[in-house]
Structure 1
Amino acid sequence: MKILTFPLSSILTHVFLLSLLLPFSASTSPGNSLSRGSSLSAEDESPALVSSDGSFSCCFHNVGSNAYTFSIWFSKSNENTTVWTANRDSPVNGHGSRIIFRKDGSVVLTNHDDAVVWSTNTSSTEAQRMKLLDSGNLVVVDGDDNDVFVSSRTRYNSSKYGVLDEKGQFLASDRLAFNASDWGPGISRRLTLDYDGNLRLYSLNESTGSWSITWAALQRMLRAHGLRGQNGILAYTPLPQCSCPPGYKMANTSDWNKGCKPKIEINCDNPHPFKFLELRNIDF
């Protein structure tokens, strides 16, 4: 039997190197909280904060050419669907912008020139940590874990509140209420006002990363008139498709919302022969 022996100095060297590497690896893994006096950079490639169950991520999110927002999104969605944004209307530069948890207790988003774009307004408080919860809420808490800031309490152009609970039931302060068709716990959902003006509730299939509609304010969008401007025709097949009636063209080739206009100039002083056409299954 052969016994391999190694010099004690070699063993100590390997142990020392391992002890250096392990803390470094742990520090690069995203956690769910940020402590007072810390900061995050827009140049970090990986999510800075991840909820403990892995459902939500929070960091700088690219929304354009060198334009970033500080956002929360669904981690398991193929589209990285955003659920909350601090600076929705004021994107920051991708170089030099930071989230800073100041020693006075406030969390601020600064642009590359150090101008404050957004703040939690929690200065002069006992704020100690910023945490990303499993609910998708970003909160700032004191030493006793009491909330001093909650992201979901941010309101945009409204004085009404609405709550979507974990089972898919929505209840608003104006008594509007509805349930998701897949009502029950354990499903990630989002309520979205879509580009066509319809309010829809989506449920996430975490195994595929895709969303499905489980409630909609208007079940048949064809009943909503004027979605594509004057004289525009909108058909669902099942995806929305826009077109113009015969003899008409887009009023603006880059914007269907402008509707359609006649291909010829209508002038009472220079009349052209006109005729009526029957358009089947179209409601104006």
Structure 2
Amino acid sequence: MAFDFKLQCPFCFFLFFLLLLYTTTAQSYSNISLGLSFVAQDDNLVWRASRSGDFAVGFRKMEMDGFLLSIWFDKIPEKTVVWSANRNDPVEKGSIVELTTGGNLVVKDQKGRQIWSSISADTGVSYAALLDTGNLVLASQDNTILWQSFENPTDTLLPTQTMKLDTQVIAHYTETNYSSGRYKFMLQRDGNLLLYTTNFPFNDAVAAYWSTQFKAEVAAIGRSNHKNLVHLLGYCNEGQNRLLVYEYMRNGSLAKFLFKISRPNLYERTRIALGIAEGLCYLHEQCSSRIIHCDIKPENILLDDTFSPRISDFGLSKLLKNDQSRTTTAIRGTKGYVAPEWFKNMAITIKVDVYSFGILLLEVICCRKNFEQDVEEEEEMILADWVYDCYKSGTLHCLVEKDEEAMKDMKKVKKFVMIAIWCIQEDPSLRPMMKKVIQMMEGAVEVPVPPDPNSIFSSI
């Protein structure tokens, strides 16, 4: 191809160079021509890779020696599968995938029987390609996409992938078995995005999972009765309309009370902290269905007419069965208050609330947020780190130097700092139960010397 043009200036040449560069990088895939096929073999799994090399398509060997036509992340050791064609019908070694001369992408078993097909009629498909986004497409000669894996998801949604109405994503059965599992994620025609349980091993939806959870949470919260929990007055659960109605708290949230210019006095602050601890102790140890709140922070603590604290907002709470002490769930909570185990694929226990309470207790003591960028010294930005440094160096007065009352009672400040440090230990087993926290706050038991919050070699 020849170009007949004149460039009037170097800048124009630069723009043209960028255009060529863009045109080149935009074609970020390797075509699969009509008539090409690929055989499922143990030692030859990749049919095509995306231009970037991030994704590959081909046969992946699964449990019981079955093969799936799949797309997977190819640059990571796990080779995580993000899409599969025949997830419920694995084929044996020697089966093939073929882009037929008629433009169909088909999977056939060893006997030539068609197991899966992308489209059923000749639609003008000219080639197939795996894009850098992980999208497998069938396209016409003028590059119009006629079919794509992004519109036929299995159990994963990738960046830039969108869900259309009536689209569903079904979880795989186990970590190594990619057949349809127990949960279905669906974008309904009314625009609602719902998670359903399925009538396993069939794919038909049984009940909206979130609706079931909502009812369970309402029942548990409705049965709870403690002076430091907000009281549930009523609720609405009509179709997709769900609403909890709590009693009105005239004095707003603890955050509004705590982070204002004039500091509330130390006595009021520690009284409020003790009330929060008692409310959490009730949820963890005394409630008929034990509850992990999962989002303890000043914004979720409301103050009544006498400035007594009430724990609120149970929207992220996790209910435990009577015989259950730990659970697994996706990460919940608010940045800055989230316990380390959420990020480590560890079982979740009531100790995640203890960690959040420890961070909140530090905020109560110091009347400042757990992270502040606008500080005089860089080491003061992360409150937990600064507090421990001050504790170790014997300079706790730096935390409350603008608080005259606290400066006169540094013994109390030190005790509450030590309790908070125990609560934010990285190892959950080192954090005390909330009952023990209350005993330490009330002075019923001595507060042991806390270790470095990141240490795992001490116990209480």
TM-score, structure 2 as length reference: 0.32
TM-score, structure 1 as length reference: 0.50
Higher helix share: 2
Higher strand share: 1
Q: Which has the higher contact order (CA 8 A, sep 6+)?
A: 1
